[in-house]
Amino acid sequence: MVEIKTDASLEAMRASGRVVAEALAAVRAAAAPGVTLTALDRTAREVLRGAGAGSPFLGYRPEWAPVPFPAVICTSVNDAVVHGIPDGYRLRDGDLVSVDCGAVLDGWAGDAAISFTVGRARPADTRLIDTAYEALDAGVAAAVVGNRVGDIAHAIGRVCRAAGYGIPDGFGGHGIGRRMHEDPGVPNEGRPGRGMPLRHGMVLAIEPMLVAGGGDDHVTAEDGWTVRTRDGSRAAHVEHTVAITEDGPRVLTAR
């Protein structure tokens, strides 16, 4: 069931979205060679605490997970696509990092992700990250009243495939509101004109994931959470929480 949010609810979700944006900005600023992933998690926790917000990630345990998620951010490095658990790994010059973060404020959730390079960037990584953001922009642009979920999926997939990148099977965006994951699902590839119609008041987390090697296959690490590319190539993951409105898409997790 899809919940249609009131305009007042969208304003409340914008507040939680700002917290997510600030946490991601703080993590990005703190990321440098030698910094541990657990230190980045502490940085995000401080932002959430300061805003009086909770984390929808911490303690989250879907049916397939062997243990509850132990952090407030996901840190996916190099060949990790999503769901990386922050640990004692120290960032190195040239690492490609994707950070996913959520916040719950006054009962409303926000969810967003960024990808960036630590230190000196490889040209191939810069292209991958730039394309991920291009795909996100295309997905957001398609999130308009009168379109369908398939139009968002098609817009994202077209950008990714045209650049020669893979799209991990079975992963994509989702509805969001009182809970982090709500209906409908938002695939990262699909046919235009198909799927649920988009209405004013729907809120979606749109999140392209790209695999540099061009394949769609992935494997889950021994921790039961981290998803890695099967071919070992690098990946990028970006995301925004977006409201569908009569005035066009509204990005609720913009800084």
- Angle (nearest 5°) at CA 190 between 187 and 191: 145
- Tell me how far apart the terminal alpha carbons of the chain are, to the nearest angstrom: 30
Phi, psi of 153, rounded to the nearest 5 degrees: -60, -45
How far, in Å, are 47, 114, 219, 230, 237 from residue 167 at the CA level?
32, 17, 13, 12, 10
Would you say residue 229 has pLDDT above 90?
A: yes
The pairing of strands 235-237 and 209-211 is: antiparallel
Model confidence pLDDT, tens digit, residues 64-121: 999 999 999 999 999 999 999 999 999 999 999 999 999 999 999 999 999 999 999 9
The pairing of strands 218-220 and 227-229 is: antiparallel
More confident site: 255 or 200: 200
Closest by CA to 110, choosing from 164, 176, 188, 63, is 176
- Residue 90, helix vs strand vs coil: strand
Model confidence pLDDT, tens digit, residues 20-71: 999 999 999 999 999 999 999 999 999 999 999 999 999 999 999 999 999 9
The per-residue pLDDT of the chain, averaged, comes to 98
CA gyration radius, the chain: 17
Model confidence pLDDT, tens digit, residues 181-190: 999 999 999 9
Would you say residue 1 has pLDDT above 90?
A: no
The total number of residues shown for the chain amounts to 255
pTM, full prediction: 0.97
Model confidence pLDDT, tens digit, residues 123-145: 999 999 999 999 999 999 999 99
* Structure tokens, 162: 């045209």
